[in-house]
Amino acid sequence: MLRQLATRTGPRSSQHLRRAFFSQQPLNAPDLSTETSPSVNQDELDKFRHISASWWDAQGPFKYLHTMNHARTRYIRDRLMDLGILTRNQQEERPLAIDVGCGGGLATEALGRLGLSALGIDAAQENVSAARAHLSTADPLLAPHVHYRRMTSEQAVAENLGPFSCVTSLEVIEHVEHPTDFVRSLVDLAAPGAPIFLSTMNRSAVAWLVDILVPEYILGSVPKGTHRLETFVPPDELRDILRAAGAETIDVRGLVLDPLANRCHVVDRHWGPFSNVGVQANYILCAVKNK
């Protein structure tokens, strides 16, 4: 079904995207100041600056992001294969991906391992430094295909980066200042027909329970104040924002954490006659930019 809803990004377009990226922006381009970027919420940014050294501690404050990252990566891989951007025996030049709000690089490195050339960008220098430090100790075969810069999505658009064959922004939109403008910048970075992946939390009582009350105030596994219910975005609201920006949502799935088993499951949005049961808390979606 997904193959019918979106077009294939083939070898020719992939090579064009790669040439455009490297000709416009050298890999050693300087980091940018992000303080005045419209999507940056300094209070939200400070939360992550203070714990940036813990990004790759799988038992630290980002424990559940590590758990979710495996499920998110499988979902992204499957959609990229459905859309023909990745193949099981990838022989073509790597498609270009940008991971917006990359933090310490959990998703960015995962994109590189999937077979993409990934650029991770983040507004916090501390996060970018943590991502670069981890990459320097990672598989040396991965390092040539993953790069990081301190910049925002709006700055990436202004510098004419891309277009990209894949755009991701995972657990980020709930921390930005202007979600509608932020989503528009993500769509601007995507090539026509390219997928945009977002994951976030629903604005619901269940999300308040499982994403705020339990992890922040009962278990203490996430710093208090990390999340605020009013910043969460329901799936239909995000679908409408994407549509207004020029992208159509083609798939929405729930992300259900099992803290006892330390696992995350990708589940269907609707369970039989029960609508939206699977997306009451965390969810991930795939949208495709209009041609």
122 is in an annotated binding site: yes
At 95, list the tokens.
Answer: 């498609």
Report the amino acid identity of residue 18: R
* 274 DSSP 8-state letter: B
φ, ψ of residue 145 to 5 degrees: the values are -110, 5
Q: Assess whether pLDDT exceeds 50 at residue 206.
A: yes
Cα–Cα nearest to 34, from 118, 130, 146, 159: 159
99 is in an annotated binding site: no
pTM of the predicted model as reported, rounded to 2 decimal places: 0.89
Q: What is the pLDDT at residue 280?
A: 93
φ, ψ of residue 218 to 5 degrees: the values are -105, -55
φ, ψ of residue 150 to 5 degrees: the values are -85, 110
Percent of the chain with pLDDT over 70: 89
pLDDT tens digits for range 175-199 = 999 999 999 999 999 999 999 999 9
Sequence-ordered alpha helix ranges (H) in 160-234: 179-189, 205-207
Kindly state the helix (H) or strand (E) to which residue 150 belongs, with its residue range.
Answer: strand 146-150
pLDDT tens digits for range 208-235 = 998 899 888 998 888 898 899 999 999 9
At 60, list the tokens.
Answer: 């630290």
Round to whole Å and give the CA distance between 76 and 95.
14
For Cα atoms 31, 33, 36, give the angle at the middle one, nearest 5 degrees.
150
72 is in an annotated binding site: yes
Q: How far apart are the first and last CA of the chain?
A: 18
Residue 91 — very low, low, confident or very high, per pLDDT cuts 50/70/90?
A: low
CA-to-CA separations, 8 to 112, 142, 166, 216, in angstroms, rounded: 20, 25, 12, 42
Round to whole Å and give the CA distance between 13 and 17.
6
93 is in an annotated binding site: no
Round to whole Å and give the CA distance between 105 and 55.
8
Q: What is the pLDDT at residue 108?
A: 98
- Domains plus CATH for the chain? 2-289 (3.40.50.150)
Report the amino acid identity of residue 4: Q
101 is in an annotated binding site: yes
211 is in an annotated binding site: no
175 is in an annotated binding site: yes
Mean pLDDT of the region 42-53: 86
